[in-house]
Amino acid sequence: MMAFESHPHLRGSSISSSLPSIPGGKPAYSFHVSADGQMQPVPFPSDALVGAGIPRHARQLHTLAHGEVVCAVTISGSTQHVYTGGKGCVKVWDVGQPGAKTPVAQLDCLNRDNYIRSCKLLPDGRSLIVGGEASTLSIWDLAAPTPRIKAELTSSAPACYALAVSPDAKVCFSCCSDGNIVVWDLQNQTMVRQFQGHTDGASCIDISDYGTRLWTGGLDNTVRCWDLREGRQLQQHDFSSQIFSLGHCPNQDWLAVGMESSNVEILHVRKPEKYQLHLHESCVLSLKFASCGRWFVSTGKDNLLNAWRTPYGASIFQSKESSSVLSCDISGNNKYIVTGSGDKKATVYEVVY
């Protein structure tokens, strides 16, 4: 179907560091912000878009007609199955086979009128944790002949906005609408700790440093870093906008943050340096790094899926969908991107290198 090659004129080293705009008349969209707040357009290196492991574009492979707004998506490690969370249920799709798609299973969770906001697979792919507009998280056994609920975890908060699972699969973290981050022991299905600090809903989460640090963003305009071994807050970054999405680079000290203001900001987590990226025209609703750490994607209320080079944000490709893009995931092998949309569907893209 559609392939997107958004900035072919950026390829190679045609960008002079003295130019405020890019050849071809496109204004600069990536800025380096120094420790003292000085903003400068970024001169992209010559290998920004042609390095090893950098995609060229993404091709639409499948449309999954979920039937409700898709607020959460995830793709299995085998890339065989995609899970789409909408109103009251998660649908399971087999994308390993060609042809038109109908769901192979439906997991009814929460109440029928409540939206699922996050679904996360455990690393072995045999369990799925689902959270949303309810005080209960449900854990599904996917290895059973038909998927079934094997546990429910109940917190005091009325809703869960985001979930993360530790690399060893022993604990799960839920970002609650009351601002707390609840830590769950998955073996005993008990709450073991709450991180308290956000003064409004905690909206997004990622784990870094081999599972020892947690990064959370909130509707209180802050990003916070938590030490999981010591159970305390290590850092706080204040912004002038609500935080809707974030991701920590898997192998470098960069944190990408998607803002309600339409900016994507890339913070260095150990020194006062950052990049600010301006290509979205509305709220940045979701964000995900490729497992190689060399690129990441963000999606927005402006119907856009943007792929960026880590950390300086050269635009690798751009895809325009027909509605707000609420959620995204990248397969572990970096070959597929899945998005969930306000158009009541999910889209599977093949990443073309």
In a domain, 38, yes or no: no
The sign of the CA dihedral 254, 259, 261, 264 is: positive
Within 8 A by CB and 6+ apart from 131, the residues are: 116, 117, 118, 119, 137, 160, 161, 162, 163, 174
Least confident of 19-28, 234-243, 301-310: 19-28
The total of structural domains in the chain comes to 1
In the prediction, which pLDDT does 5 show? 39
Q: Please report, for the domain that includes residue 278, its CATH number.
A: 2.130.10.10
Confidence class for position 100, pLDDT limits 50, 70, 90: confident
Confidence class for position 11, pLDDT limits 50, 70, 90: very low
Residue 50 pLDDT exceeds 80: yes
Average pLDDT score over residue span 293-309: 98
Domain limits at 139?
A: 80-297
Q: Can you spell out the DSSP letters for 124-173?
A: TSSEEEEEESSSEEEEEESSSSS-EEEEEEE-SSS-EEEEEE-TTSSEEE
Rounded to 5 degrees, φ, ψ at 9 are -75, -10
Confidence class for position 287, pLDDT limits 50, 70, 90: very high
In a domain, 311, yes or no: no
In the prediction, which pLDDT does 25 show? 54
One-letter amino acid identity for 26?
A: K
Confidence class for position 112, pLDDT limits 50, 70, 90: confident
In a domain, 184, yes or no: yes
In the prediction, which pLDDT does 257 show? 98
pLDDT digits (tens, 9 = 90+) for 303-345: 999 999 999 999 999 999 999 999 999 999 999 999 999 999 9
In a domain, 86, yes or no: yes
Bridge partners of 31, per DSSP, are: 41, 276
CA-only gyration radius of the chain, Å: 20
Helix (H, G, I), strand (E, B) or coil at 304: strand
Helix (H, G, I), strand (E, B) or coil at 6: coil
pLDDT digits (tens, 9 = 90+) for 185-240: 999 999 999 999 999 999 999 999 888 999 999 999 999 999 999 999 999 999 99
In a domain, 188, yes or no: yes
In the prediction, which pLDDT does 98 show? 80
In the prediction, which pLDDT does 8 show? 36
When the pLDDT of each residue in the chain is averaged and rounded to a whole number, the result is 92
In the prediction, which pLDDT does 16 show? 34
Q: How far apart are the C-alpha atoms of 301 and 272, rounded to whole Å? A: 29
In a domain, 314, yes or no: no
Strands 325-330, 336-341: pairing is antiparallel
In a domain, 63, yes or no: no
Confidence class for position 10, pLDDT limits 50, 70, 90: very low
* Bond preceding residue 20 cis, omega within 30 of 0: no
One-letter amino acid identity for 136?
A: T
Average pLDDT score over residue span 285-313: 98
Which residue shows structure tokens 């963003």? 217
Average pLDDT score over residue span 281-290: 98
In a domain, 349, yes or no: no
Helix (H, G, I), strand (E, B) or coil at 9: helix
